[in-house]
Amino acid sequence: MDIDSDDEIPTLIEHPTTARTAARVPLTIICGFLGAGKSTLLKRILTERHGYRIAVIMNEFGDTADIESKAVNVSSPDDPAAEESEEILELANGCLCCSIKDSGAAAIEKLMQRKGAFDHILLETTGLADPGPIASIFWHNEEFAAGLGRDIVLDGVVCVVDAFFGTQQMEEDHSGSEDHIGESLKQIAGSDVVLLNKVDLVSPETLATVESLIQRVNPAAPIHRTVRGDVDLAHIMGIKAFSAPPPSLTPVPVPVSAPTPHNHNHGHGDHCDHDHADARDPNHYELRGISSLQVSCPVLSPARFDALDAWIRSVLWENRIPDPSPSSATSTSTDAEGKGETELLVLRCKGLIAMETGERYVLQGVRSMYDMIQVDNDKEGKGQDEDIDIAVSQVGKIVLIGKGLSEDVRRSLINAISGV
């Protein structure tokens, strides 16, 4: 990406706030461990009066007796669409429930025929699903962009984690193979928001432990504690994870006289009752083959921005850091020897990049696909304090989540952005 090139300058026609993009319905992917509480969350959304018009796409709503019985109540026997009620149900609170039993795309296409009847789509995945490939269907997919992509835009990925079994699941969900990353870790890695559910079942200590694990696997995702999926829907919908700066990467401005910042990336409500004794090195963490890496990003010149872009391409597309010197070479897929070292693989990357020219870019990546989208300082700071723009212009941050994110990778990234 060459930001100096005239070809790359965003055109006035395609500004993000134009009518074309505004008309698209946001879609949120809900993933999570088996039994973590995905269906409970969705049932709550489908049955409570919350004022949102949401279409929920569930895997097996045929098994969800209480939702079906409500649907029977709202279906009229002489309704010509009754035959279809097995696939799309209209619920009393204005939501729609759609089954995705057969072909996912067909279910969504059918749903989109009712566009206007809902403002948001929630898509539940199975407990074993890796959200990365699913997110890819709705992002950077040419077929999708030419078809459903005209009506739908990916808003974010939400992962429901079981507070009771979460730690155990993350520890166990890892086969003997060095290359295997457990699905539960992929789900946390691939998410933009984590709902830590079933907090009623655990002690504050257990809660702090599982929360700390999640945060170290995915430092970019805010964590919200929930009981039976009771969450303010604004935390999981309309988050614009693929176009707006991640809130957890947005530095909070601190008054000069303030004490040492209480550096919280996660947003579990307004309280903070757990201790932070477990807050180890926040820049690098590895659990069962998956690791995360955070690097502060200085204000970049256009040349450094290009170097960062080239670095990301090399890491995401070729699974290697660019031109590693023999002493700093990280074992990669091209390393024939590979003796015991971990292959470099980025499952997710996020970042906020400030330019000398005053522009800000959001980096958002899912596996080999990524975007660096320019953020409109005035319009995209939704719900944020205006002062934050000042702080953001001074420093950015890059977070990588995946495998083999060694010290060499960090050094190489720092070199790329600092020009060393």
Ligand X SMILES: Nc1nc2c(ncn2[C@@H]2O[C@H](COP(=O)(O)OP(=O)(O)OP(=O)(O)O)[C@@H](O)[C@H]2O)c(=O)[nH]1
What CA–CA distances, in Å, run from 302 to 2, 3, 255?
8, 7, 30
- The minimum distance between CB 145 and ligand X, in angstroms, equals 30
54 and 95 in contact (C-beta within 8 Å)?
Answer: yes
Query: Which residue lies nearer to ligand X by CB, 226 or 291?
Result: 226
Q: Please tell me the distance from the alpha carbon of residue 209 to that of residue 26, in angstroms, as a whole number.
A: 33
CB nearer to ligand X: give 87 or 124.
124
Sheet holding 396-403, edge to edge: 284-287, 290-297, 396-403, 345-354, 360-366, 369-375
Least spacing, CB of residue 192 vs ligand X, in Å:
18
Give strand pairing partners of 121.
Answer: 27, 55
Cβ distance to ligand X smaller for residue 84 or 200:
200
CB of 112 to ligand X, least distance (A): 25
Residue 350 dihedral angles phi and psi, to the nearest 5°: -145, 155
- Residue number, 35 or 302, with CB nearest to ligand X: 35
Minimal distance in Å, beta carbon 59 to ligand X?
7
Tell the smallest beta-carbon distance from residue 415 to ligand X (Å): 43
Q: Which is nearer to ligand X, 227 or 252 (CB)?
A: 227
Tokens coding 240: 């614009």
Residue 36 DSSP class: S
Q: Give the type of residue at 340.
A: G
Tell me how far the alpha carbon of residue 383 is from its chain's centroid.
19
8 A C-beta contact, residue 300 and residue 355: yes
Contacts with ligand X by CB under 6 A lie at 32, 34-40, 127, 197-198, 200-201, 227-228
Query: Cβ of residue 33: shortest distance to ligand X, in angstroms?
Result: 7
Q: CA angle, 127 as apex, 132 and 133 as ends, to 5°? A: 15
Counting Cα atoms < 13 Å in the Cβ hemisphere of 302 gives 6
How far apart are alpha carbons 395 and 300 in whole angstroms?
9
What minimum distance in Å lies between the beta carbon of 290 and ligand X?
A: 21
Q: Which is nearer to ligand X, 59 or 291 (CB)?
A: 59
- Residue 383, phi-psi category: left (phi > 0), alpha (psi -120 to 50), beta (remainder): left
Which CB atom, from 37 or from 245, has the smaller least distance to ligand X?
Answer: 37
Q: How far is the CB of 157 from ligand X (least distance, A)?
A: 15
Query: In whole angstroms, how close is the CB of 357 to ligand X at the nearest point?
Result: 46
**Closest CB to ligand X among residues 129, 287:** 129
The SS3 call for residue 62 is helix
CB of 45 or CB of 416, closer to ligand X: 45
User: What is d(CA 226, CA 60) in angstroms, rounded to the nearest whole number?
Assistant: 23
Q: How far apart are CA 116 and CA 118, in angstroms?
A: 5
Q: What is the distance between the alpha carbons of residues 12 and 400, in angstroms, rounded to a whole number?
A: 32
Query: CA angle 392-395-400, nearest 5°?
Result: 105
In whole angstroms, the minimum distance from the beta carbon of 47 to ligand X comes to: 13
Residue the block writes with tokens 């963490």: 285
Q: Which is nearer to ligand X, 183 or 380 (CB)?
A: 183
Give the residue with the Cβ less far from ligand X, 133 or 261: 133
Rg (CA), the chain: 22
Q: How far is CA 280 from CA 203, 208, 213, 248, 276, in A?
A: 21, 13, 11, 18, 9
CB of 127 to ligand X, least distance (A): 3
